[in-house]
A and B are shown apart, each in its own frame.
Chain A
Amino acid sequence: DVKVTQSSRYLVKRTGEKVFLECVQDMDHENMFWYRQDPGLGLRLIYFSYDVKMKEKGDIPEGYSVSREKKERFSLILESASTNQTSMYLCASSAPTGTRSEQYFGPGTRLTVT
């Protein structure tokens, strides 16, 4: 079974702090994604990566950055956390583009910024 793990289930941070969210997948997937999930808005793509050291902006990249130094690990960084970044963050991975593969999701990190 594909397994996508995220470093924390719950996180509380103060405004202005630098926040790191880690995601690891064990299926050697090329593609990895970071979403945020908010009620009534569904999932919105923040960033994705299709290879090591490669990244592309999603629909809402402002205030976020990412890092992918190893194939299995994709990190989301909030450079200076703000209260409007309080949300559920979901990581996902998938096999190479063009294959008949769905995205596999981690359990999510519920981040509260106070």
Chain B
Amino acid sequence: AQSVSQHNHHVILSEAASLELGCNYSYGGTVNLFWYVQYPGQHLQLLLKYFSGDPLVKGIKGFEAEFIKSKFSFNLRKPSVQWSDTAEYFCAATSRGSGNTGKLIFGQGTTLQVKP
């Protein structure tokens, strides 16, 4: 069955610390991959996405993610977090193949708390 797994459920960091959130997917074919963020009281919004090409993708607010096909991973990184990065982060995937209906499968989410 297709699935997306996020290893860290709750992460607490101090400002300026580096961040890496893990995401692994299980899909039969090629996939499109996404990271979404939900700031407190706000809409879910896209941080970055990977469809093809350069496996290192850059998103908004200094975030980046690396697609490693051999590890079925798409980890999110930021070199130096800020208090304003406190939010819930979701990894998601959709099949790119002929059966693609645009349906996303989401991971369980990771709550990031950044202490000032």
CA distance A50 to B102 in the complex (A): 9
A102 pairs with B106, CB closer than 8 A: no
CA distance A33 to B92 in the complex (A): 14
A40 pairs with B45, CB closer than 8 A: no
Q: Of A50, A56, A100, A103, which is within 8 A of B104 by CB?
A: A103
Q: Range of interface residues on chain A?
A: 20 to 34
What's the nearest-Cβ distance from chain A to residue B107, in Å?
Answer: 6
Instruction: Give every chain B residue within 8 A of A103 (Cβ-Cβ).
Output: 102, 104
A97 pairs with B106, CB closer than 8 A: no
B106 pairs with A42, CB closer than 8 A: yes
Q: Across the two chains, which residue of chain A brings its CB closest to B36?
A: A105
CB within 8 Å of B: which of A63-111?
90, 92, 94, 96-98, 100, 102-103, 105-108
CA distance A40 to B6 in the complex (A): 10
Q: Of B6, B92, B101, which is within 8 A of A97 by CB?
A: B101
Query: What are some 12 contacts across the A-B interface (CB < 8 A)?
Result: A41-B108, A42-B107, A45-B103, A45-B104, A45-B105, A50-B101, A92-B44, A97-B100, A97-B101, A102-B34, A105-B43, A107-B42
Interface size on B, residues (CB 8 A): 24
Q: Quick check: is A43 within 8 A (CB to CB) of the other chain?
A: yes
Instruction: Give every chain A residue within 8 A of B36 (Cβ-Cβ).
Output: 105
> Which residues on B are within 8 Å of A, measured CB to CB?
6, 9, 32, 34, 36, 42-46, 49, 51, 90, 92, 100-109
Q: Of B34, B100, B101, B108, which is within 8 A of A42 by CB?
A: B108
Q: Contacts A42-B108, A102-B34; is A48 near B100 (CB within 8 Å)?
A: no
Q: Contacts A100-B51, A102-B46; is A40 near B102 (CB within 8 Å)?
A: no
CA distance A41 to B106 in the complex (A): 9
Instruction: Give every chain B residue within 8 A of A108 (Cβ-Cβ).
Output: 43-44
Q: Across the two chains, which residue of chain B brings its CB closest to A30?
A: B102
